[in-house]
Amino acid sequence: MHLNKFDLNLLIALDALLQEKNVTRAAERVHVSQPAMSAALQKLRDYFNDPLLVRAGRELCLSPRGLSLLEPVREALLHVQATLGTQPTFDPATVERNFSVIVRDHIVPRLMPSVLKRMLAEAPRVTCAVEELSQTSLSRLEHGDSDLCVMIDNPQLFGLKGFPEWLRSVELKTVRWVCVVCKDHPYIRDELTEELYLSMPHVFSKPQGPGVSTMELMRRFTKVDLNVRVTTQSPFELPFIVPGTPLIATVPESVALRLAQLLPIRSFAPPHEIPDSREILMWHKRHESDPGHAWLRGLFVEASRQN
């Protein structure tokens, strides 16, 4: 294989084909016609002497050679993009750039107004897409589809014992947990005893996807077995669910305080100790030296200090 015989323009088409496993979608991804993408696929097949995409029923799947190229090609393009897209200096007042950030929904009200206020004032040509945390969030960071992720420092949400080595992070805030119940709860009055805590039904949240089971995640989180009767994907939804029910929800204290004036709810310290968590900002190590990325990280760190 000789690089001087390879048309480097085909790398973009190769990445799209390997990612999409479909000629039409790959063409749409890189904004070319389907015939042009089909021609690119044929050139790639000739170069690698391999079909790359093979028919499996009504779908296409990657050949072993195509599968071996998937990650290296993607990583190579991301490094090229990071190198060419990184300026020695970054002037937010003049630069045109799009950022994508993943923020757990219960953190959005605390951070995003301050972050976006500064972004809109300082960077008139910068845009920001805000996404909710999901089971694909780490993959999106790894593959360059998102720039930052703000969440609780808990890799178990993704079924992992620890975060990947390519992640970089900074702590934003310590998170204290409280139990939220309906204001006129039929059994919980002035005190949430451990007996009531263990016997009452609970509502619990975790991101959608396989990962760890709800019961196992709850057990790791609280260190006890609880009667989880209702689940939701969103921590921010929990205080809206408990009014009028005997349910107990365990939420960040900041969420309980923010919603206490809007909802008929009360909060109690958990009778069974739940260690404080850390709210962290995460990014891929390839962005370490990118001044634009560092500027955006700085907005989140400063907003967290102020809120």
Q: What is the pLDDT of residue 242?
A: 96
CATH topology classification for 97-174+278-306: D-Maltodextrin-Binding Protein; domain 2 (3.40.190)
Tell how far CA 250 is from the center of its chain: 21
HSE-up of residue 30 (Cα within 13 Å, Cβ side): 25
The CATH code that applies to domain 3-79 is 1.10.10.10
Pair of tokens at residue 136: 């694909």
**SS3 (DSSP) at 34:** helix
Q: What was the pLDDT predicted at 1? A: 43
Are domains 3-79 and 97-174+278-306 of this chain identical in fold?
A: no
Return the CATH number of 177-275, one of 3.40.50.970, 3.20.20.450, 3.40.190.10, 2.40.50.140: 3.40.190.10
* Termini Cα distance of the chain: 56
pLDDT for 230: 93
For 85, the token pair is 């897209």
Residues 237 and 33: their CA atoms lie apart, in Å, by 44
Query: Per residue in 64-85, is it b (16+ CB within 10 Å) or e — as a string?
Result: eebeebeeebbeebbeeebeee
Dig out the tokens for 187 from the structure: 């059994």
pLDDT score at 9: 73
In terms of Cα–Cα distance, which of 148, 146, 161, 77 is closest to 112?
148
Strand order in the sheet with 227-232: 227-232, 201-205, 248-252, 177-182, 265-268
d(CA 148, CA 281) in angstroms, rounded, equals: 7
What is the structure's pLDDT at 2? 47
**Other C-beta atoms lying within 10 Å of the C-beta of residue 42:** 10
Report the half-sphere exposure of 55 (CA within 13 A, side-chain side).
2
Where helices occur in the chain by DSSP H, the ranges are 10-20, 23-30, 34-48, 64-85, 108-122, 137-142, 194-199, 214-222, 238-241, 253-259, 291-306
* Encoded tokens for 170: 């900074």
* Boundaries of every domain in the chain: 3-79, 97-174+278-306, 177-275
Tell me which residue of 278, 288, 275, 200 sits closest to 245, measured CA to CA: 200
**The two three-digit tokens of residue 143, written as one number:** 């593959």
- What does R_g of the chain's alpha carbons equal in angstroms? 24
Q: How far is CA 240 from CA 122, 208, 265, in A?
A: 36, 19, 9
Q: Which of left, alpha, beta for 21 (phi over 0: left; psi -120 to 50: alpha)?
A: left
Q: Are strands 97-103 and 148-152 parallel, antiparallel or unpaired?
A: parallel
- Both structure tokens of 101: 């950030």
- Which residues fall within 8 angstroms of residue 81, CB to CB, at 6 or more apart? 144
Per-residue pLDDT of the chain (307 residues; tens, 9 = 90+): 444 566 767 888 888 888 888 888 888 887 888 888 888 888 888 888 888 888 887 788 888 888 888 888 877 777 666 665 555 578 899 999 999 999 999 999 999 999 999 999 999 999 999 999 888 899 899 888 899 999 999 888 787 888 988 899 999 999 999 999 999 999 998 999 999 999 999 999 876 665 667 777 777 778 888 899 998 888 889 999 999 999 999 999 999 999 998 999 999 999 988 889 999 999 998 888 888 999 999 999 999 999 8
The confidence score (pLDDT) of residue 159 equals: 77
What pLDDT is recorded for position 5?
A: 62
